[in-house]
Structure 1
Amino acid sequence: MKLGNYSIRGRLALFTGLAVGALCIVFSLVLLVALNRMATRSLTDEVTAVGELTAYYVDRGELSNPLPPIPQDLVRPVQVVDPHGRVVAATKDLQGRPAMAHFLPRSPRRVASQVVCDSILTGGRCHVVVAQQVYRDGNWTIYSAAPALPFYVYPGVIAILVVGTAILTLTVVCGARRNVTSSLRPVEAIRSQLDHIRSTNPGRRVPVPTAKDEIYRLARSVNQTLDRLESVLDQQRRFCSDASHELRTPITAMRTQLEVALMAPEDTDVPQLCDAVLPSIERLQAIASDLQTLTRLDTGVPGDRQKVDLCELITMELGASNGKVVQRLLPGVTVLGDRSGLGRLVGNLVQNAQRHASSTVTVTLRRGNGDPRFPLGIAEVEVLDDGDGIAADQRETVFRRFTRLDTARSRVAGGVGLGLPIARQIAESHGGTLTIQDSDRGARFVLRLPLHS
């Protein structure tokens, strides 16, 4: 079964259980090895004591076969081998048997031990054999032995470790699951609240826990995202409403003109009808073109970035415009951007200025500095008209979509309220700004773009 089928609580509990179980197993193995070594060392010392007791009799010449009695708590198989390698004495259980081992202790220690398997010792088990030498007319060797201990030392030890591992693992798993459940309870509340948020009630927000942990930061980020989504939804609703209103006006005019022509086709002058309908079609075409531009800008699709000479670009845009325009252009001011987009930006500003100017529009291009946002310097374009100007409290309003301060005059002039929003969005997509500054007369639009090195 895949882990993805489990909840977070289940996966964390399973991982914790496996980790704790593995650690307990490793700890148990290390403990068993340590206990085995300690018990084997103790057993070896006991076997060595038996050999030393026998060596005492050999050294005193009191050797007898079978060997003299050994205390009950030290009874072990013992053999005495003479300097010629013959077994000359042994305990009763090894009478008439060959030597249990053939290794000798290395001088000067005079004592050595090994684990010997497949020897004459009975039981089919490996034995710990200790060899000791005593000098008496040659080197006599005393072998004493005891069955080797299993790796778990005693059955009760491994039983305790198995039960302890199971209890500890289950305890940790239950504790981890309970702790994760408690920690994820705010997440469940957030999920439940998100399920109830729809486009019809975007004002609802998820609960923010009091503990300032990761879930607290998650809840705040979710609420901030919901704030932005609500703002976008409101903007989209206003946009759709304004766009439908703007489209309805020329469509209604065209429908009325066509219906009148159909009611009296014999009195209809086709060229005159076309002249009447064409302005509405041009208006629809302008709205569609602006909406397409806004869609591209909203999606953040970048245009081709290239080195653009603003003096040359502005000169070309002003050459295609109507009306009196005073040019104060500094040559050699270059930026990096989309040439067609920057041309659209300048054209929109100039058209807006001409639409509201009394007689003259002044376009100025210069270099600027002192703004920390533009470390390489500023390319500053100023478009100034000599019209009535824009009130300070309305300078941001004109950058909203489908906004016209003078609706009737703008519609006659052909404006649909999208030129300035498009211009600002193009400026921001190039890392610049577009604002309205104070002036003695008229409206003064200031475009700032980062210079290209």
Structure 2
Amino acid sequence: MSGRLISELPEQDLAGRRRASRNTLRAQFALVIFLLAFLPNLVLTLTAQPALPAGALVGWMLLVGVLCGMVGYVLSGALLRPLSRLQAEVEGGELTPHADDPAEILRLRRAFSDLLSRLGTEQTRRNAFMATLVHDLKTPLIAAGHLTHALVHLPMPDAERREVGAQMGAETARLLALVQQMADAHRFEREDVMVQSAPTDLRALLDGVARRVKPQAEWGGVEVTVDGSGYALADAQVLERAVTNLTENAIRYAHSKVELRVTPGGLVVADDGPGLGGSLAQLAQPFTSQPTTIAGQQYTAGTAGLGLFIARRIAEAHGGELHYTHQPHGLPSHEAASPLPASALPTVFTLTLPEVTP
């Protein structure tokens, strides 16, 4: 029974290919041209009723039919040549415009170019996502594994055991934060950020962020200050996530000081670090596929831009923008920047909001 089914499969496949070969655009064009050329000749011949034997008349019509079929085949190929050429280019992955392309083919070529560009972007981001899994997630997992092995198999006093347990907790928190950032970036890339705006005390929001990052700041020897006051319509929980991302990045690369400030234009996170290794538009992307240099340190493709991307999307959801300026050694910046007052510190991120009231 199974041998019979296997033998029937090639026959079914061959029949399907035959149907597909008959149901082509060229065959349809050739048939239309054939009918347009042959039917008038047939009507004229029958109307004229020439004094010819039936055999000769049938032979003449067969000859006309063959000629009409050949003309239809040749003309259909000529009409579809730009489409066949586009098919070959799409299969080869390289689209080149030609001067003799009809307008429809030009539009189709542009559509295919846009599609291939989007597919290429998705592929590079997928590769970067895999790099994230291999690199960024593996590091805390390996550290947690070593700590667990030490906690289970090595004799140690209670104080040291508690310290190892605290380190395990820190690695677990780092892993969870990274997973949350990856999930947020994936969601914010495909969906709009949902906000529920309400009157928000921006100074209280910054004070809460400063308290949350205090252990990280103390461990790095960085001072975090908060200044300014104001209110705005915002989703406090979502906006706090954006400011936290910016503040944690600032603490990670600052030399000694990070400043959080409420301004008439929004919220400012500034630090005395070396700044970004590229433009904000380039780095604030999810799962960037290019290596990134920050503070003189090389980062592989992965999560280097997740925090900035999430902050930018949250700013846009509130009707604002995320700006970045860097003024080394306190010199005025020559880059196009927001005219809002920011900070005397060199590296400044400004999350603008539509309206901030005192």
Measure, in 1, the Cα distance between the counterparts of 2:154 and 2:57: 105
Measure, in 2, the Cα distance between the counterparts of 1:416 and 1:274: 28
The aligned counterpart of 2:310 is 422
Equivalent AA in structure 2 for residue 327 of structure 1: G
Q: Are positions 1:177 and 2:73 aligned together? A: yes
Deviates more, 1:173-182 or 1:431-440: 431-440
Q: CA 1:283 to 1:189, structure 2 compared with 1: closer, same or farther past 3 Å?
A: same
Measure, in 1, the Cα distance between the counterparts of 2:353 and 2:72: 56
The aligned counterpart of 1:446 is 350
Cα deviation for residue 254 of structure 1 reads 1.4
Answer yes or no: is the 8 Å Cα contact 2:193–2:317 preserved in 1.
no
Q: Are positions 1:13 and 2:30 aligned together? A: yes
Answer yes or no: is the 8 Å Cα contact 1:432–1:450 preserved in 2.
yes
Answer yes or no: is the 8 Å Cα contact 1:210–1:216 preserved in 2.
no
Q: CA 1:188 to 1:286, structure 2 compared with 1: closer, same or farther past 3 Å?
A: same
Percent identical among aligned pairs is 22
The aligned counterpart of 2:294 is 405
CA RMSD of aligned residues (A): 4.4
Measure, in 1, the Cα distance between the counterparts of 2:282 and 2:19: 56
Measure, in 2, the Cα distance between the counterparts of 1:172 and 1:429: 63
The TM-score with structure 1 as length reference comes to 0.51
The aligned counterpart of 1:324 is 225
2:191 maps to which of 286, 301, 323:
301
1:5-404 to structure 2, matched below 5 A, reads 6-18=23-35, 155-156=49-50, 171-195=67-91, 204-213=93-102, 214-265=104-155, 270-298=161-189, 300-304=190-194, 308-309=197-198, 312=200, 314-315=202-203, 317-322=205-210, 323-329=224-230, 331=231, 334=233, 341-353=238-250, 356=254, 358=257, 360-366=259-265, 381-388=266-273, 390=275, 395=280, 398-399=283-284, 401=287, 403=292
The TM-score with structure 2 as length reference comes to 0.63
Cα deviation for residue 173 of structure 1 reads 4.7
The aligned counterpart of 2:7 is none
Q: Which structure has more RCO (C-alpha within 8 Å, separation ≥ 6)?
A: 2
Equivalent AA in structure 1 for residue 268 of structure 2: V
Q: CA 1:448 to 1:274, structure 2 compared with 1: closer, same or farther past 3 Å?
A: same
Cα deviation for residue 295 of structure 1 reads 1.2
Q: CA 1:171 to 1:342, structure 2 compared with 1: closer, same or farther past 3 Å?
A: farther
Equivalent AA in structure 2 for residue 10 of structure 1: A
Measure, in 2, the Cα distance between the counterparts of 1:184 and 1:340: 58
Answer yes or no: is the 8 Å Cα contact 1:317–1:347 preserved in 2.
no
The aligned counterpart of 1:437 is 325
Equivalent AA in structure 1 for residue 50 of structure 2: G
The aligned counterpart of 2:213 is none
Corresponding residue SS for 2:275: coil
Answer yes or no: is the 8 Å Cα contact 1:206–1:219 preserved in 2.
yes
Q: CA 1:193 to 1:395, structure 2 compared with 1: closer, same or farther past 3 Å?
A: closer
Larger radius of gyration: 1
For structure 2, the residue ranges without an aligned partner over 5 or more in a row are: 1-17, 211-223, 331-344
Measure, in 2, the Cα distance between the counterparts of 1:328 and 1:167: 93
Higher strand share: 1
**Matched pairs, number:** 295
For structure 1, the residue ranges without an aligned partner over 5 or more in a row are: 33-151, 197-203, 367-380
CA deviation vs aligned residue, 1:399-452 (integer Å, no higher than 9, x gap): 3558572488x9xxxx9753112212444567754221355423222335678x
Corresponding residue SS for 1:312: strand
Cα deviation for residue 248 of structure 1 reads 1.9
The aligned counterpart of 2:335 is none
Q: CA 1:345 to 1:391, structure 2 compared with 1: closer, same or farther past 3 Å?
A: closer
Answer yes or no: is the 8 Å Cα contact 1:208–1:216 preserved in 2.
yes
Measure, in 2, the Cα distance between the counterparts of 1:391 and 1:273: 34
Answer yes or no: is the 8 Å Cα contact 2:271–2:346 preserved in 1.
yes
